Amino acid sequence: MVQPSDFTGRGTPARPTTFEWMGLALLGGLLWVLIAYSTAVPKDRFWVSMRWTARWSFAWFFLASWSAALGVLFGPRFRPFAARAREFGLAFASAHVVHVALVAIMLYGATTPFAREPLILFGIGVGVVYVMALITLSARLRAILGPQGWRAFRIVGIEYINYAYYWDFRGRTFHKGAINFLIYAPFLVLTMAGPVVRAAAFIKAAMLKRARAHGIAHNHPAIPSLMVDDDTVRG
């Protein structure tokens, strides 16, 4: 287990708690709604709020799902981010509450049936987000799943959420005009690159563990876990 003192040399530093990260992410989402309603024209306020809160949520998902992989691939420079991946993941779940609430309001007020495919895709995604958050916060649930079961669920869950974002950003990038292309193309690229980066980190971590088992990599720093966990550097 990598200790905070490994990064500072002075013992455990003061840093935000898990629930402070979650509160920051939630308040940030609410702030984006307030800004949208303060700046957008009345007919666009709700839709601007939905777009901005979706991007805000994705920023936290990006931090949660990339940080440990970058720590494995590029070493100590990214290790402090990897050490906070659990907080980033729970902050993502917290930030996403605002966007999910807006979607619920939209569905409640809809006068025509909503398309079934995106509704199922994103409904499952929302469920995965909050089941993962619940298990992350519950040592008892993690014990029931066991280390291998929890790890497998994390991998599948993260890649499913990534796919849901990819599906959404792909449509917005190529079917909504030039402005949307410029706005959403970077997000689309990140969703396409994410699985590749995590796979590369997984392979490198496996190679380093094998080398260490054969006594080759004695001096290599501790390898962070690639997913959320309470007892390792998380990602």
pLDDT digits (tens, 9 = 90+) for 49-96: 999 999 999 999 999 999 999 989 988 888 888 889 999 999 999 999
Burial of 66 (0-12, 13-18, 19+ CB in 10 A): buried
Helical (H) or strand (E) element with 95 = helix 85-109
Q: Among 11-15, 75-79, 82-86, 197-201, where is mean pLDDT lowest?
A: 11-15
Residues 184-196 pLDDT 10s: 999 999 999 999 9
The SS3 of residue 214 is coil
Neighbours of 230 (CB within 10 A): 11
pLDDT at 219 over 60: no
Cα–Cα distance between 118 and 116 in angstroms, integer? 6
pLDDT of 136 reads 94
Contacts for 171-177: CB closer than 8 Å, 24+ residues apart: none
Residue % of the chain over a pLDDT of 90: 64
Residue 101 amino acid letter: A
Q: Which two tokens stand for residue 60?
A: 């936290």
Q: What angle do CA 45, 50, 52 make, to 5 degrees?
A: 90
